A and B are shown apart, each in its own frame.
Chain A
Amino acid sequence: MDGAGLLACYERMAVIRRTEKAAHDLFLQGLVKGTTHLAAGQEAIAVGASAALRPDDYVFATYRGHHHALARGATPEECLAELMSRATGLCKAKGGSMHLTKAATGMLGSYAIVGSHLPMAVGAAWSARLRGTEQLAVAFFGDGATNIGAFHESLNLAAVWKLPVLFVCENNLYMEYTPIADVTAVPRPAADRAPAHGIPGEVVDGNDVVAVEEAVGRLARRARAGDGPAVLEAETYRHFGHSRADPATYRPAEEVERWLKHDPLDLARGRLAERGVGEETVAEADERARAVVERAVEAAKAAPPPDPREALTDVWADGGAAWRT
């Protein structure tokens, strides 16, 4: 990744970090209802992978999916408007934080049943193969998803059909509130299981956007060439708790401190310096990110609520919800 590419990635990560912070603040102000599962700290995976993908590749994410939606073309304004139940929200305020979707840019959804979207990515890859498009499908999921049946069924089916799909595990060490190691028999919950299904399993520093971009790029080329699926386990850490209800007091202080020092934005700044990108240029990117998110917050706040009649639309393809004559 050259300096310009890395700077663009950095700016995207900064936008995501600030959007997550805004979501957190708006929740505390009572402007975001329900819950949020923030991905602050995990930005490098979404942004690094996105930099390695084609614009027409398919992405499936989890309830912790703000960063993927933002990395794959959703604007902070659309996302924040969705969280704030506005008509201008990404999903017309019918989805909310856990279901951010932008189908037009290949962001095919965020799914809140753990692991449920892995088979969907397999199917999208199968569809791409049938249509001869050389598109890739990527499923991002957490470490907790590696213990559900759909994970194993998906890896097997993708392997046996040799499909162009990547399974990218964001291993943030905790399955909700429980350390993944307490409930999983292997140290690398995703990568260690891949060989059992006959596919490669790799581990990458998920906080290093350059390393993620390289790993996803390499595995994507392999998959597009017809060599089949792969598992990439990206080690990372969430800055917030599992969800808004979770202060994450179960995490040892030294662990938190160690990971906060391994921040994806700091790492990217270091790599920008290595590439000779000046501090002033980085500061300008930070300023642009700040301004974009600030404007997004104001625009989302000013947007109208949805028309109540929208509650009875969009069940069926004709736009309606009628179930009887």
Chain B
Amino acid sequence: MADVITYRDAVAEGIAREMRRDTSVVCLGEDIGVAGGVFKTTTGLHEEFGPERVWDTPISEQAIVGAAMGAAMTGMRPVVEIMFSDFLACCWDYLANEIPKVRYMTGGQVTVPLVVRTANGGGLGFGAQHSQATENWTLTVPGLKIAAPATPADVIGMLAAAIRSDDPVVFFEHKGLLATKGPPPPPDHLVELGRAAVVREGGDVTLVALASMVPLALRAADVLAGEGIDAEVVDLRCLVPLDAATVLDSLRKTSRLLTVEENPYQGGWGATVVSIVADEGFGLLDAPVRRVAGECVPLPFADVLEEQVIPTVDKVVTEVRRLAAY
């Protein structure tokens, strides 16, 4: 394996590793086969595993996710691709009503080990219906696990955990990270779901981020370091299970909290993190908690407009300065 791997190639590599070790892992989705996926995140899978394990589907999100559910209930481990996360709305019944409820309402009789992968987020000028950060949609649904890796190594390690999970996992791959590079992880690399990572240590303020907001927070931390503000950056990695313990541990050091999220402020995951901190870590705080989040508008097309409504390094830096000065 090369010295570096892209986030994009890490997706295919992560799936391939699991398909090699477990014949019950199968893939389905629109254009994922011969075409290798619209984002080229399934390149090579069709060649290696053939049409019996890598299935091109019609544009039928309900049938795709519903069929994956039926297959998962009967012995397979399907890995579904929903091309853009905005399209999760087309199969929302399965994500909100069917998959996450069936274990509970059958009294534990039915297990649904499947992964729904989807390209999430903005920053690429795809317009309002192909750019939304939708991880907060899934956060409202009990019974779904939610993963959103920020690095190629985490893509592979978290895909391994997600595919091996006996619970359903929605796996958000950020479009803005696809071309980013990082060190390839060793064979059998596994990142347990629900384990946040402290990706930059610091003593003055805790930045909690997810997916593309992690490198953004790190860039902001670099700027702040030049001003003498030492930021710690926590990559949450998963929203469910949520590693609140790592956030609270970080606050014990820094006593100041800023969440950085791409989804809109209202109903965003940062609110959940902040409420846990207010509930269980109020005494740790020396300043109000702050959130940098998306504006409450559909994502606009033009770069100059998109910049206005999703988090930027400048927005994060500005908020941290306020917190540090409090």
Contact = CB atoms under 8 A, between A and B. Distances in A.
Given A103-B106, A150-B62, A122 B98 contact: no
B276 to A, nearest CB: 7
A102 B62 CA distance: 24
B286 to A, nearest CB: 24
Nearest to A165: B70
Contact of A120 (B98, B107, B142): B98
B98 A127 contact: no
Contacts of B66: 116-120, 122-123, 150, 153-154
B63 A154 contact: yes
A93 B245 CA distance: 34
Interface in B58-86: 58, 60, 62-76, 78
Given A127-B74, A127-B75, A149 B62 contact: yes
Interface of A, helix, strand, loop or mixed by DSSP: mixed
B36 interface: no
B243 A120 contact: no
Contacts, number: 170
B104 A119 contact: no
B109 A116 contact: no
Interface string A97-109: 0010111100011
A119 B105 contact: no
Given A92-B107, A317-B111, A325 B245 contact: yes
Contacts of B106: 91, 94-95, 99, 101, 103, 109
B103 A316 contact: yes
A323 B142 contact: yes
B60 A111 contact: no
A91 to B, nearest CB: 4
Interface in A112-160: 113, 116-128, 130-131, 137, 149-150, 153-154, 156-157, 160
A139 to B, nearest CB: 9
B129 interface: no
A125 B73 CA distance: 11
10 contacts: A60-B70, A103-B106, A116-B98, A119-B64, A120-B67, A123-B67, A130-B71, A315-B104, A324-B194, A324-B243
Interface of B: 26, 52-53, 55, 57-58, 60, 62-76, 78, 93-94, 97-98, 102-111, 113, 142-143, 165-167, 194, 240-246, 276
